[in-house]
A and B are shown apart, each in its own frame.
Chain A
């Protein structure tokens, strides 16, 4: 079993920084910067949490087929939890999967990273969208992350045909 966990406060910090660097060069028609309108700050924490929950649920949709057997373990576990304590870290998003026999575990780290980036990019895109700004760059990144997640989780080693090609 592999567990991926992410501290929500850490994800929010990263989303704040990513959003700040993006809007650094965004100005209105009069040349005024848009930091006060578009930046994510602690005021927006509860809204950003709801965005993270939406994104996490959606991502879990891709991981869910690999978490079906978790409830059959000696100690049954959930495949997805939001806002729970894990390994001494408080307020985390937790995903658990049970790898298939031929799962390529060299992609565990890239998979972990893609999930994290998907969560962050979704937050930044949605936040900018709700603030009436164009964050489509982050939407594309999010979609790419989702594709990567699918690609990594379905990667296998030693796949051999048991039939002949003619």
Chain B
């Protein structure tokens, strides 16, 4: 999770595969360890995300980034290649209108990371046909997106002279 501000020009939110993988792996493992099969054995191997699922996680990270960053598309006008999506990193640059509270930028940065994590886990549980968990993480993801949109007002408004 990081943000880079070039005053008066751009704010870039950036997230690496490694940092997102660490969290989704930990969270899904915590859930999977409590899921038992018919013989009472843990289903960690079936439902926990491990390095074996690298390509699945990359795909979901890219899908999630595409969906989340599109919510800010209108404030990317004038910035070339503002959305970057690769296998190792996703980032979104928006225009810096310099009319915000710095703490709001930090809050959006944290919420974007949470949204990406919740999106990956939601889609993972959907793939695994664990609908209850998918629904829980979908709700979390939607709440994150709403918070990003709500807070983005501060980033959208220009400085009035």
Contacts and interface: CB of A to CB of B under 8 A. Distances in A.
Interface stretch (A13-21, A98-106, A110-118): A13-21
A90 to B, nearest CB: 13
Nearest to B157: A17
A16 B99 CA distance: 13
A39 B161 contact: no
A35 B146 contact: no
Contacts of B145: 32
Given A10-B161, A24-B150, A35 B78 contact: no
Interface size class of A (residues with CB under 8 A): 10 to 19
Given A10-B161, A16-B158, A36 B74 contact: yes
B160 A35 contact: no
A20 B142 CA distance: 21
B130 interface: no
A131 to B, nearest CB: 12
Contact of B74 (A10, A14, A32, A41): A41
A17 B155 CA distance: 11
Contacts of A137: none
B95 to A, nearest CB: 8
A43 interface: yes
A36 B158 contact: no
Interface in B119-161: 142, 145-146, 149-150, 152-153, 156-161
Interface string B66-79: 00001111110110
A35 B153 contact: yes
Contacts of B150: 24, 33
Contacts of B71: 35-36
26 contacts: A13-B160, A14-B160, A17-B157, A17-B160, A20-B153, A20-B157, A24-B153, A32-B145, A32-B146, A32-B149, A35-B71, A35-B74, A35-B149, A35-B152, A35-B153, A36-B70, A36-B71, A36-B72, A36-B73, A36-B74, A39-B74, A41-B156, A42-B77, A42-B78, A42-B95, A43-B74
Given A16-B156, A36-B70, 17 more contacts: A10-B160, A13-B160, A14-B160, A16-B157, A17-B158, A17-B160, A20-B156, A32-B146, A35-B71, A35-B156, A36-B72, A36-B74, A41-B77, A41-B156, A42-B77, A42-B95, A43-B77
Interface of B: 70-75, 77-78, 95, 142, 145-146, 149-150, 152-153, 156-161
3 pairs of A and B residues whose beta carbons are closest in the complex = A33-B149, A13-B158, A41-B74
